[in-house]
Structures are given as structure tokens and as C-alpha cells.
Structure 1
């Protein structure tokens, strides 16, 4: 075989990492069900699983403390995102790391019930995310996402109980600056909300897929997905001043050149 010289010449700039996104999910199953679903013969997997240490099925499996489980090697493509899109990229399984968090979110009487996350889960997921971000610098704050962000209308995880602000304060993920948000709140209170076309332009510039959001139902679904991430106190999907101010504050912080393209 012809020798392969691995170290004689090395590219130092003309490449980047495969991983550009960190996607967070809930399992909607207990630990035992999550392990079965994520390691069995089904068409779903994730790179990591964060159990709930208070889950009886976790304790019955012999675990007494918080652990994180690596189910798929980071170099491999886990099947966690499904049909997905963010900022013009699709099939995000190709370019993401997926973290599943055990949480018994469920549908009840036609609506979703979202239980809180265990504090030890949040701490563990935060530490894991910090480690991942340190190793994959192409994962920008706006590319730390929930499944509901990349599969609008199809998914709701990790849901409105997930503490995105707490993660941001630990250096993980995006969040609007309070002063900038107040500025847009005052502007929209005085001038009125931007029209739907402007809002769709803003959502698209931030990263959301808006192709299906032209009608009333689609627009409500899009707004709801955004609110579950950034305004969890009210995620009914109704556009209001607070929601619009958060979106434009995010654009000003992370995408100022894109914001300049929107003529308010």
C-alpha cells in the first residue's frame, strides 16, 4: 500500500467541524422507556441522555446519583432531529449533537402538560453543553436550539419549562439584552407592531423556517415555537409587543447586519 503521510502537511484554515448545532429534546418517557426507545431497533437515537434522578425506573436500574449517558459517538450521526430546518440548513442530523432529557411531558385533555425539570438535570445538561461548545466553536449561541425551534409545529420539546435563561447565564445559548428589549418595547408601544410580513422576515433572519407560516394557523404555530423558547410565561402563539421586542432584540444582538435589512 502507498504510504499515507499524515503529518507532513496539515491544513490550518480551509476546513471546519461537522457539528454546528446543539439540539435539546425531552423524551416524554421515563428512564426505562427512554433507554428502550433510544437504544432499541427503532429509528431514533441521540448522542446523550440526561436522566431524572428522582425517576423510579432510573433508581430501579441501579443508579443512585446523576449521570449522563453517551448513546451515540459524537463522530456518528444520531437520528434525533428528523425533518428539520434552521437558518437555511435542513436535515440537521447531519450537523448537530442531540441531547435527550428525561421528562414526562404529555398530552392531556387536548393540551400539553409540561412538568418541570429536575435541578440536577439542568446542572448536568448545562455542564455537558459547556463542554460541547468548548470543543465545537462553530456552535454559535443562536445554534443552541430546542427541537421545537427546528421542527416548528411538529415538535414541542424541550418545552416551556426548560430554563433557557439559566443556560444562557452559564454561557450556553442566546438571550436578548434587557435594555435593547426595552427599547423595542417602547417603540412598538408607540408605533404599533410590525406587520406580519415584517415579522416573518424577522423570524426568517433569526433562523426560523417560515415557509408554512403565511396563514393564520401557521403564523400562530411559529410564534408559539418562539415563545416556548424565549417567552415561556405565555406561549399561546399570539403576537404581542413583548414577543416582537424579544425577537428584534435578539436580531440586534446576534444578527445586526440582517436586522439592517428590515425596514421598520
Structure 2
């Protein structure tokens, strides 16, 4: 059951300026519930929702027994969660998105990342929350349920490779590729990868911002792999990664 707590409204938000909601963007907090709640409500940044980890100590210490979702900003307002971002040719994504911060203690230690798993109860609640959001905004397409890294791959990693995107898709939320189509493309690309200029166009067709240099290309590949091939996200372009990208475009972009 979805329990929404509105006890902690955020300070920073404003009007959407006529923009319709077209995206859900998922984040991890990289910190415990207590500090995330302070950060998201005291100014500078904000999100529409904060989803705790029911096993995290600061959440239990706050006296909560059941898992609930904290609405910090009303959905008809613009929260400040996406920052500098780009998807499918649009920027300023705060104006047309709902931001969900998920408590997860991911760490970046000078470029060495650690990504804890997401508890099952937390993911179950997230599925209920996103379904609830989509009931109000049915125009949100599967390819518009995204991670922060997808829309800001040059600077972000959340929600990370441990986030269960396939599980969301199996629950009817978000995009995933058809396995038979992926296998067909992978057989082709195992002989020879497509030219990088063609792969660049394929990334852009799916929605990713153009890569301006080699580093950006590798960071975008890493982000894509974290989302769709999390067992290996080194950012190296290979036959499987290309096959997944082409299978997604065939399924969702008609290409």
C-alpha cells in the first residue's frame, strides 16, 4: 500500500511554466535518510519524492516502522533535481519531470564507485509509486522513465548498476529490449561492430545527448551499460552493447 507523508515540504520549487509532465527521473541519495531529507528540504535542491530504505538506521531512528514515501514537492510544481540535463533533444528537464530520490548509500571515492543493492521492499514501493504517477500522467512513455545518469551521463551515475531496471520493466514500467532482437543484432555485430558514427546516431535516436569527444562517448556508453547491461559497465563499446542499443531503437523508435 502506498503511504504518502507530506510532513516535510521542500523550500525550493517553482511553477512549471506551462510544461507538461513527460518524464520520471530516478536518483540515489548517496547518503542516509536523515541527511537526504535535510538536503532536499532546506534549500538549493529538491525532489518531488523521497523513498527511504526501510533497513537504513537513520530511518528507523526517526521512529518509522512502516515504509512510506515522502512527498516534498507537489507534482504540479517544478522541483530542482535534474540540474544540467538533456534527453531526446530537450534540456531544462526539471520543467517536465517528476524526480524521485531513493535512499541508497552509493559512494564515489575519487572515481572508485561502490553501489549497494536496493532492498526488495524499497523496489516494490517504488513500483507502486511510479504506477501511481503514471495514472495521472499516462503520456509518460517507457523511454521516459530514466535515471539521472541517462540525462546527465557526463557527471552522474545514479541510480547505478545495482538498480533493477529489468524488474521495473517486468512490472510494466520503463523500457527494455527484446531478447530475440538483441541476439539477432549481436550475431551480426560479433563479426564487425557498426561504425562509431552510426553508433553515435543510434545513441542520439534513443534519446542520449550527443557526445562531443572520446571521453563523453565512453561515459555515455558506461551509463547505457549500467542501465541495460549492468554486469559490465566499463564503457567499452562491444557487440552486445551495440546489439542492445539497436534492439531498443527497433522496439521503441521504429528504427
**TM superposition shift of 1:134:** 2.0
- Over residues 147-204 of structure 1, what are the superposed CA-to-partner deviations in whole Å (9 max), with x where a residue is unaligned? 00000121100000000000000011000001110110111123x1111100000000
Residue number in structure 2 paired with 1:39? 41
Whole-Å Cα distance in 2 between the matches of residues 110 and 193 of structure 1?
29
The question of whether the paired residues in 2 share the 8 Å contact of 1:17 and 1:136 is answered with no
Whole-Å Cα distance in 2 between the matches of residues 106 and 33 of structure 1?
15
Residue number in structure 1 paired with 2:11? none
Residue number in structure 2 paired with 1:3? none
Q: TM-score w.r.t. structure 2 length?
A: 0.91
Residue number in structure 2 paired with 1:11? none
The structure with the larger Rg is: 1
Residue number in structure 2 paired with 1:230? 228
Residue number in structure 2 paired with 1:239? 237
Residue number in structure 1 paired with 2:219? 221
Whole-Å Cα distance in 2 between the matches of residues 203 and 70 of structure 1?
33
SS of the aligned residue for 1:182 comes to helix
Moved segments of 4+, more than 4 Å:
none
- Over residues 64-106 of structure 1, what are the superposed CA-to-partner deviations in whole Å (9 max), with x where a residue is unaligned? 1111111100000000000111001110000000000000101
Residue number in structure 1 paired with 2:20? 18
**TM superposition shift of 1:109:** 5.5
Residue number in structure 2 paired with 1:204? 204
The question of whether the paired residues in 1 share the 8 Å contact of 2:24 and 2:99 is answered with yes
Residue number in structure 2 paired with 1:66? 67
The question of whether the paired residues in 2 share the 8 Å contact of 1:188 and 1:241 is answered with yes
Residue number in structure 1 paired with 2:29? 27
Does 2:54 match 1:56?
no
Q: TM-score w.r.t. structure 1 length?
A: 0.88
Q: Which runs of 5+ in 1 are unaligned?
A: 1-15, 260-264
Q: Which runs of 5+ in 2 are unaligned?
A: 1-17
Does 2:146 match 1:145?
yes
**TM superposition shift of 1:108:** 2.7
Residue number in structure 2 paired with 1:168? 169
Whole-Å Cα distance in 2 between the matches of residues 83 and 135 of structure 1?
26
**TM superposition shift of 1:218:** 1.6
Whole-Å Cα distance in 1 between the matches of residues 246 and 213 of structure 2?
22
Whole-Å Cα distance in 2 between the matches of residues 162 and 114 of structure 1?
9
The question of whether the paired residues in 2 share the 8 Å contact of 1:17 and 1:138 is answered with no
In angstroms, what is the RMSD of aligned CA positions? 1.2
Aligned length: 238
For the structure 1 residues 201 and 47, does the alpha-carbon distance in structure 2 shift closer, same or farther, using more than 3 Å as the test? Answer: same
